[in-house]
Chain A
């Protein structure tokens, strides 16, 4: 087993563990920190998959901004009381359904042999230049629409969270 495979197995195990922690911990702040860990692990996986630009964006945007916003809201709302019995009557059924979904996906993915060796990557594969060329030539319309979407989200959030006087 060479180094690359070992790193993948290690990252995969840690990712599954921290995802389970996100879902099953009682304290909300601990859940948020487990999610930050998951996001950082996924960013490392991106880098091993020859996508350094997307990996660093994941750290900057997801782990560095969105999760900080989550933590702000958690501290602001300050939920002291522990939540009541988890999920109520239906939690067993819900877990069973999700496991069925996961199992179906896994069965689907192990059906056929995938190409063991990926296409050889050039030096510039996941670099900022390649991504930028793609973004500003083929995908310029979605890019502009995404910026309008973010503007709409900012305005909407400010309006929604305002205190009624």
Chain B
């Protein structure tokens, strides 16, 4: 069995990759996908701790994170569809100013 540190390092790496995705991509859908990647990295941390400490609370936490992530993805995509209808583009740079 690998030590716990290795799992934590793996999720740190995936989390950092997700942060890069959110910051540098100019397509709203890919930004949302990078957010999902970050959520999954956190899930991995929860499950690793749950295993190494012998408590199922981590798995229950992951259950709730998944439910919330599903709700968030649904609303996020609905917002993206709405924004696309208005701006005809998926580039976050073009949605910088509110209507005045």
Contact = CB atoms under 8 A, between A and B. Distances in A.
The reply, when asked whether chain A contacts chain B directly with Cβ atoms under 8 A, is yes
Interface residues of B, number: 70
A35 B34 CA distance: 9
Contact of B47 (A35, A54, A74, A146): A54
A22 B34 contact: yes
Most chain A CB inside 10 Å of its own CB: which residue of B7, B15, B20: B20
Contact of B40 (A39, A90, A114): A39
Contacts, number: 241
24 contacts: A8-B2, A12-B6, A16-B10, A19-B18, A23-B20, A23-B37, A35-B36, A46-B43, A51-B51, A57-B63, A61-B70, A90-B24, A94-B20, A101-B16, A102-B19, A105-B12, A105-B16, A110-B5, A114-B52, A118-B52, A120-B54, A149-B67, A153-B72, A154-B74
Interface of B: 1-10, 12-21, 23-27, 29-30, 32-34, 36-37, 40, 43-44, 47-48, 50-54, 56-57, 59-60, 62-64, 66-75, 77-82, 84-85, 90-91, 93
